[in-house]
Amino acid sequence: MSLSLKPNSFRGRRTGPVVVVVMDGVGMGVDYPGNAITAARKPCLDHLMSTCLWTKLAAHGTAVGMPSDADMGNSEVGHNALGAGRVFDQGAKLVQEAIDSGAMFRGEGWKQVVANCQRANGCLHFLGLFSDGNVHSHINHLRSMIAQAKSAGVAKVAVHALLDGRDVGETSALDYLEPFERWLAEVDPNYGIASGGGRMSITMDRYEADWSMVERGWHTHVLAEGPRFPSASSAVKALRLSKPGVIDQDLPPFVVERSGRPFAPIVDGDSVVFFNFRGDRAIEISKSLLGLPVPFERVRQPAVCYAGMMTYDGDTNLPPRILVAPPLIDRTMGEYLVGSGQRILACSETQKFGHVTYFWNGNRSGYLDKSLERYIEVPSDRVSFDERPWMKAAEITDATIAALIEQPTGFARINYANCDMVGHTGSFVAARMAVEAVDLCLARLLPAIAKIGGITIVTADHGNADEMLEMDKTGAVRFENGRAKAKTAHTLNPVPAIIVDPGFAGEYAIDTSIARPGLANVAATALALMGFDKPEAYEPSFLTFKR
């Protein structure tokens, strides 16, 4: 199949690039006391919304391949849709289907981890994000696998619970731990939770931003080092008392003991399943457990049968043993652009660099064509994002402007991570500052793009900072212990898509015939503004062009 693009009637109307700016975590929610977007001083965005063509895009649920419209979007599936121009069934849906049909348990990956336990009388360890957020994992998938392990005669099961507080309520850990501990005891007294800690404290680093998180996780899950408690729920209660105000994602690591000894460190002969289906925060711990090179001293490398829920890095086939096949995302926008000789620029800071590269390219790492592509990674700061809500937005802006001036580019994509990463901290004031930082950078970036004759599509991949306080069904703010309850999760709100085109002369308009435009419509829109027809099977442009 040809990956070259066909010119349309708009070809040559503009001299500069089309630039997609992803304001990560900027949704369009109701104006209430917890909306940091509406509360922020953002003269640039306000001006764009009053003077430019814009529309709302669906960025959650079925619009991005999730099982239902009750499911939040996230940066992974959002950037997949932005880059692929189509909607693919994503991890959560694929895993649930594999469980419901029994295909997971008939697969070689599952058979091998169970057979290894039976042969070596080893423990089956399940490590992953312990919640029903359905962004990285789902606790119901874990329950199903444990029940199946019991049916298969596995003698000992240990769960290593990475506490969430990010895709679910910020202090909801006990809502999951206490009923789960009771359920495990009913399933088998030799089954239990062995260790845990907050997801932003241990194990779930991504993009090699902070390997010390993985090292702490290794010492917790494998070496069973750290403070010991009789149960995971008692650990959470004690750690909250010792660190007043701490939210779940930041809880320190802990180890569960029985009869005065750690219940289940990971040792030779065991099997380990990392039950996250999303890849970005699964790669580093996978490398560690597979014995691949890592930048920390492991002390002890257990010989285990390791499996991931899905493939976390397609180019390196990591991990080689999986339970569910990932979506095959082909014919991405990037492939068509390099196939047509177009130069591409991608830029973000470390926290979202993989999103404008790996995820945008259909879960493919590395360059598609290095002669035509330039990827710029700005190293992220290793601090809590609420302490520095401006993050690296200014540096991303500097690097993008310089690169666009230095070399002609057909298409560019950048990501400002602020409103997502700061939104996840639960700090309303910091989130408002994050919005203002992005707005300041847009005010610098847009004139630079206009000066070289370009068009900018300003959009987002999902909401976050638009709901910083939890609401009840009536829309009222929830209170807990006398204070408004912070929300750290993504939202179900649509996101804006603003066309910033200084050369606009009425050549196109918003296509109101599309019932529910979503993130997947952005690819065809960007290509149309570059002067190309959309590839076969792509979702249509949300613009209609006048003949």
What is the pairing mode between strands 261-262 and 254-258?
A: antiparallel
* pLDDT tens track for 495-508: 999 999 999 999 99
- Looking at residue 1, what is its pLDDT? 60
Catalytic residue of the set 4, 75, 212, 234:
75
Closest CA to 542 of 66, 86, 80, 54: 54
d(CA 320, CA 113): 13
**Residues forming a β-bridge with 313:** 318
For the chain, domains (ranges, CATH) are 18-90+329-545 (3.40.720.10), 92-308 (3.40.1450.10)
d(CA 139, CA 243): 26
- Give mean pLDDT, residues 117-123: 92
Q: Are 60 and 69 in contact (CB under 8 A)?
A: yes
- Looking at residue 120, what is its pLDDT? 81
- Looking at residue 514, what is its pLDDT? 97
* pLDDT over 90 at 315, yes or no: no
DSSP secondary-structure letter at 132? Answer: S
* pLDDT tens track for 184-215: 999 999 999 999 999 999 999 987 889 999 99
DSSP secondary-structure letter at 31? Answer: -
Q: Is 75 one of the annotated active-site residues of the chain?
A: yes
Q: Count the neighbouring beta carbons within 10 Å of the beta carbon of residue 406.
A: 10
- Looking at residue 266, what is its pLDDT? 98
DSSP secondary-structure letter at 38? Answer: H
Closest CA to 18 of 517, 501, 512, 492: 501
Mean pLDDT of the chain: 96
Banded pLDDT at 279 (limits 50, 70, 90): confident
* pLDDT over 90 at 45, yes or no: yes
* pLDDT over 80 at 477, yes or no: yes
pTM > 0.95: yes or no: no
